[in-house]
Structure 1
Amino acid sequence: MTNNQDEAFYARKPYYVSVQAGSILEDPTAAAYELVIEVNEEERNQLGELFDELSSMDEAEMIHFAQSPFGSASDEQINRGVDGLLVDIYKLLYKWGTPETKSHIATMGLFSEGSLQ
């Protein structure tokens, strides 16, 4: 990469995130979003990989329940992986979020007080 490409790759800019849709948008008018973050391309890619992983786990859950609705795995066991990914996603969103995003995540009750610092 040339120096200008490096600067563009590491420059922070706003993105508009929908956790529910698993989307990270540059254009706030493109679709509904819940949170705003300021990240560089590397950080955006990191968040995108977590969304991809979350989507894959959701698909695996649907297949599991469709094939074995009365299987031996409990809902809690099946959901533990998804919950862990959501915690990781919200921690990054808090870290990179605007003040409004940080405030919203802090009031969601996902984390104990002081654990997001």
Structure 2
Amino acid sequence: MDEHRHEERFEGSKTFYVSVQAGQILEDQGAAAYELEIHANEDQVNALRELFEELASMDEAQTFHFAGSPFSPDNDDVLNGATDDIIGRIYRLLHECGTSETKRHIESMGLF
């Protein structure tokens, strides 16, 4: 019953299965491994996709940085801080859209 009320809060929401590690948002539960289940509308899914793209871009920037200057810690804190910020925004959005189980899992991680 609680899940049903949660779904009604977001007009046009559907169930999605999310793998943060893989940066995937799936509609088919059996399509691939996933960690979290959410109920999200199109705007929320688009926002999550954008965050996953930002995270992938940040990963590429870190790879380039460390390949070019493996012993230079100058920008390490900046890069790591930006990555942490994106991950935090991803999990806040997932918490907002998450099922009760997803919310409990995210809360247990102690991110915010």
Change (3 A) 1:35 1:51: same
Which residue is equivalent to 1:79?
A: 80
State yes or no: 1:105 paired with 2:106. Answer: yes
Question: What's the TM-score, normalizing by structure 1?
Answer: 0.83
Q: Which residue of 1 aligns with 2:60?
A: 59
Count of aligned positions: 102
Q: Residue in 2 aligned with 1:13?
A: 14
% identical aligned pairs: 56
CA contact (8 A) 2:16 2:26 kept: yes
Hey, what does 1:4 align to over in structure 2?
A: none
Q: In 1, Cα distance between the equivalents of 2:75 and 2:57?
A: 19
RMSD: 1.1
Alignment correspondent of 2:35: 34
> How far apart, CA to CA, are the structure 2 residues paired with 1:75 and 1:53?
17
Gaps of 5+ in 2: 1-10
| Matches of 1:107 and 1:12, distance apart in 2 | 25
Is 1:95 paired with 2:100? no
The unaligned stretches of length 5 or more in structure 1 are 1-9, 112-117
